[in-house]
Amino acid sequence: MSSIFRDRALGSSKRHSQYQSPMPQQQPVYPVEGLPSPFDDLGSNLSDSELRETAYEILVAACRSTGTRPLTYIPQSEKTERAPAISHSASLQRSLTSSAASRVKKALGLKTSSASKRRVGGGDSVSQGRGKKAVTVGELIRVQMRVSEQTDSRIRRALLRIAAGQLGRRMESVVLPLELLQQFKSSDFPSQQEYAAWQRKNLKVLEAGLLLHPHLPLEKTNSASQQLQQIIRGAPEKPLETGKHNESMQVLRSSVMSLACRSFDGSATETCHWADGFPLNLRLYKMLLEASFDINEDTSIIEEIDEVLELIKKTWVVLGLNQMLHNLCFSWVLFHRYVATGQVENDLLFASNSLLIEVEKDANEIRDPVSSKILTSILSVILGWAEKRLLAYHDNFHSGNVESMQSVVSLGLLSAKILVEDLSYEYRRNRKEVSVTCERVETYIRSSLRTAFAQKMEKVNSRKHISKNQKGSLPALSILAQDTSKLALNEKEIFSPIMKRWHPFAAGVAVATLHSCYGNELKQFITGISELTPDAIEVLRAADKLEKDLVQIAVEDAVDSEDGGKSIIREMPPYEAEAVVANLVKSWIETRVDRLKEWTDRNLQQEVWSPQANKERCAPSAVEVLRIIDETLEAYFLLPIPMHAVLLPELMTGFDRCLQHYILKAKSGCGTRSTYVPSLPALTRCSTGSKFHGVFRKKEKSQITQKRLVGTSNGDNSFGIPQLCVRLNTLQQIRTELGVLEKRILADLENAECTLSYDIANGTGKRFDLSATACVEGIQQLCEAIAYKIIFHNLSHVLWDGLYVGEVYSCRIEPFLEEVEQYLEIISSTVHDRVRTRVITDIMKASFDGFLLVLLAGGPSRAFTHKDSEMIKEDFKLLTDLFWSNGDGLPADLIDKFSTTVKNILPLLGTDTESLIEQFKHLILESFGSANSKLPLPPTSAQWDPTEPNTILRVLCYRNDEMAAKFLKKTYNLPKKL
């Protein structure tokens, strides 16, 4: 037996060299899918490596106990000089190079891997590297289970000591962790830490096997369990003394043996139950079975699987397993490896399914509730995984991997059949006539095809929005009918042959499901048909063709059945489709126009004119209006009628009036230029020598204040500057789209070979005249409203109430410029580029008007001296520079054009009072001729002008010096004080 598990140099064997000289090895990375563990939680912190080492210890001990010869130990130094001891079993003596083809792999349908062929072939590099020494199966298992030479040597040494002290005892009568604890001291380990960890591992195994998962139920009052628990809890604080005659060791042995040797009937038994409690035994056995996988090719079963399983099965007597549980556990291990390695090796799935077939043979004989629970747990996980794929198998399988689908279906149905038919008492009692497998397959077919149909429908709906402007694009349900037909043919060719193994009408069930899915959509479509549309005709034609295809597949599938497929055909009632009468075309137009009117009114009431509504920063309601018109025109020209041009004016008139109504509503309440510009105050004069100069008569002051507040009391946020910009963008968007629509209509008329297209193209056929005119007027009104509202309303606190109030030098134009700049940024980021320059130009004009209004009619708080003119000129230069913006703003010639008036008037502020008076007298005489000694009062003109008497008179009224005051007092008797 020593030769089975003795360390041998494997030459160039990759598996062996990995543990001779441990080196980190890059493992392949797979898209791992998490699977819930079918085994209960151990409740202890035993790691996989500790479980693996414990499983290896059990395997070595189980193999030793089955032998007829005593186990001998050869020290490490003698291994290279002595031949291996003779094993008890001829099969275990077989070297790797002489292994025959695996019977297990053949039975499970596993192919021989290229790595295994190279490893076991005669005269290969591995055997050459070994020289004359044969590599045994035992050594192979050690390497496969990642057990180091040092650990293996220590295990064999302990087993020799155990055998020497308990000669003749079989392994099932030995509590291995207990015996191992007694065989070693800390000096047998490289360090005290390793020894302590090893002790803890064995105590945790005892805890798991005897306390947490005992073979027999454990009474709460059992003193031995309490005693063992105390020892385990105290071990971390004080290392366990393991001497043979040590008191603590004797106490440990007494409690362990008392727990391990219990029986159901209380009689004495030679079998020690310390590792055969569920799920500990299955977790340990799983570790042994995983040695079947090549550590360097983790989707490949080793070629020596026969010999490895032969040894592994020797642990059954310790772990309390049988052939059924072995098949179940091995099936789970193969299945789990298939999933954990990315589902790339279909042989593993096939092999797992083959083992599950063996499990099914014994499943209905299971009476043990624990075994039944384990079987149910494992099968439930497998079934859940399989059904997750099968309920939507169109998403998971295709022609390239359909072979694996057969194994998945078989695995899922086997699991369901065992769970329902073999384990369910209720099912066996009622004995349903329909098989579980047939029911499940039908469920898979219907569920997956409904999902696939829904995906097709979603895809078609998304394409409908993309292709709505493409001429000749098919209706959504017509495309869906084509896609459904392709789906049915694909089902028939790829999936139905597989499903037919378990369901006689697999293809028939599939097409009946698709017929129902499409029929539901078609029924909704037909319900909504109230007029003639090309969509209706196209959809009905496509539905008719689809129905014929589906029925044909169902008939072919049931040709050999007893009823000829009548049961399936009864599931497919014919599609109902009503023809739309051609004389409803006019009603169609009237209905669409009325619907648009209603929609426009309703949505205009709800429109908030938010700049954040969309990236175009225009009203969603307008976008929707234009979309409705666009779609209606498209539908109109697709109508199968010969009189498109004759009826087009009626449709166009309706649209034009709807758009005109929308435009008038959009600009309604937004105000105009005159809404925000205050009326000019009556003439007066400033009083000299005071900081704040009253320049209005009392009866006029309140009137001006009231006029200045006109249009400013409306607190509706829908008329804020950003909202006004959205209204402006909306009109521009409509204006642009009108041209697009008109061009499209001409193209549609030409395609329809319309005889009136020439007249329409030349303007004799009226199109969107009302709405086009309304757009032009609305854009002009909104541009001015935005500009003058900003300057005279929103910025009145820095312009009307702030600029040059008191002393000029202390109330300059900078605050006004800063706030204007903020509004310009809002305009630049909000207004459509086609009208942005126009709005900014109007803001510039409004700011120039406001600037002049402050200088010539600024109210009682303003008065200017001759010296103030330079500062005022500087301020105006800053104002024009704001709009020029170093060349990034308005064009210089545009600024010059609209600043001419201000530039012509500013010199008047720098002209001395005497010259102004002379100039004023001259202009009065020119305008009114010779008059009496008193000069007539000139009327207020519509525009400021340096050659206009009223303009010069206002400059004099705001001139803060004695000469101007005397002239005004003498000429017009204007008072110095209010």
Residue 62 or residue 25, greater confidence:
62
Share of the chain above pLDDT 70, in %: 80
946-977 pLDDT, tens digit per residue, is: 988 989 999 998 888 888 888 888 888 876 54
Taking CA 389 as the corner, what is the angle to CA 387 and CA 393, rounded to the nearest 5 degrees? 115
Contact between 173 and 257 under an 8 Å Cβ cutoff? The reply is no
Average pLDDT over residues 46-53: 93
pLDDT for the residue 753: 54
By the 10 Å C-beta count (0-12 exposed, 13-18 middle, 19+ buried), 187 is classed as exposed
Domain assignments of the chain as residue spans, ordered by start: 34-68+102-109+135-321, 443-464+474-575, 614-687+719-869
Mean pLDDT of 567-581: 67
Provide the H-helix boundaries in 811-912.
Answer: 814-830, 833-857, 868-884, 892-910
pLDDT of amino acid 468: 58
Per-residue model confidence (pLDDT) at position 79: 43
**Mapping DSSP to helix (H, G, I), strand (E, B) and coil, where does residue 301 land?**
strand
Rounded CA-CA distance 408/626 in Å is 53
Q: Which residues of 704-735 are buried (b: 16+ CB within 10 A; e: fewer)?
A: beeebebbeeeeeeebebbbbbbbbbbbbbbb
Note the pLDDT tens digit of each residue in 791-811: 999 998 998 888 888 888 888
- Burial (0-12, 13-18, 19+ Cβ within 10 Å), 933: exposed
Q: Who wins on pLDDT, 931 or 853? A: 853
pLDDT(10) > 60: no
Q: Is the pLDDT of residue 828 over 80?
A: yes
By C-alpha distance, which of 676, 896, 898, 720 is closest to 823? Answer: 720
The average confidence (pLDDT) of the chain is 80
Q: What is the DSSP letter of 298?
A: E
What's residue 77's pLDDT?
Answer: 40
The band of 857, judged by pLDDT with boundaries at 50, 70 and 90, is confident
- Sign (positive or negative) of CA dihedral 861, 866, 868, 870: positive
CB 792 within 8 A of CB 799: yes
Write the burial class of residue 35 (CB in 10 Å: 0-12 exposed, 13-18 middle, 19+ buried): middle
State the Cα–Cα distance between residues 329 and 379, nearest whole angstrom: 11
Relative orientation angle of helices 506-527 and 534-557, to the nearest 10 degrees: 160
Instruction: Determine the pLDDT at residue 641.
Output: 66
pLDDT tier for residue 646 given thresholds of 50, 70 and 90 = confident
DSSP element (H, E) containing 643: none
pLDDT at res. 33: 64
Q: What is the mean pLDDT of residues 836-846?
A: 92
Which residues are CB-contacts of 801 (< 8 A; sequence separation ≥ 6)?
none
Q: Where are the beta strands (DSSP E) in 532-638?
A: none
Phi then psi dihedrals of residue 301, to 5 deg: -80, 135
Rounded distance between C-alpha atoms, residue 186 and residue 947, angstroms: 117
**Calpha distance 14→296 (Å, rounded):** 7
Mean of the pLDDT values across residues 172-193? Answer: 89
Quote the CA–CA distance of 743 and 740 in Å, as a whole number.
5
Question: Mean pLDDT over residues 202-231, rounded?
Answer: 89
Q: CA 671, 677, 679, 680: dihedral to nearest 10 degrees? A: -160
Residue 416: Cβ within 10 Å count: 21
pLDDT at 147: 93
- Greater confidence (257 vs 73) lies with 257
Check whether the bond before 279 is cis (ω within 30° of 0): yes
pLDDT at 91: 37
Report the interhelical angle of 962-972 vs 949-957 (nearest 10°): 120
pLDDT for res 90:
36
d(CA 850, CA 853): 5
pLDDT score at 13: 39
Q: What is the tens place of the pLDDT at every residue in 242-296?
A: 777 788 888 889 999 989 998 877 776 778 899 999 999 999 999 999 999 998 8
Banded model confidence at residue 72, pLDDT cuts 50, 70, 90: very low
Give residue-wise pLDDT tens across range 670-721. 888 888 888 877 777 775 444 333 333 333 333 333 334 333 334 457 788 8
For residue 591, the tally of other CB atoms under 10 A from its CB is 13
DSSP E strands in 336-403: the ranges are none
What's the CA gap between 727 and 320, in Å, rounded?
A: 83
Task: Note the pLDDT tens digit of each residue in 444-500.
Answer: 999 999 999 999 999 988 876 665 555 556 788 899 999 999 999 999 999 999 999
- Work out the pLDDT band at 427, boundaries 50, 70, 90: very low
Report which listed range, 57-66, 115-124, 408-417, is most confident. 408-417
Q: Three-class SS of residue 792?
A: helix
- Exposed, middle or buried by CB within 10 Å (0-12, 13-18, 19+), for 422? buried
Mean pLDDT across 198-227: 90
Q: What is the pLDDT of residue 412?
A: 92
Q: How many CA atoms lie within 13 A of 105 on its CB side?
A: 20
Residue 125's pLDDT is 34
pLDDT at 40 (0 to 100): 83
| Ranges 366-370, 527-531, 543-547: which has the least confidence | 527-531
pLDDT of 623 strictly over 70: yes
Cα 798 from chain centroid (whole Å): 50
32-43 pLDDT per residue, tens: 567 888 988 888
Q: Is a pLDDT exceeding 60 seen at residue 375?
A: yes
Tell me, what's the pLDDT at 522?
Answer: 86
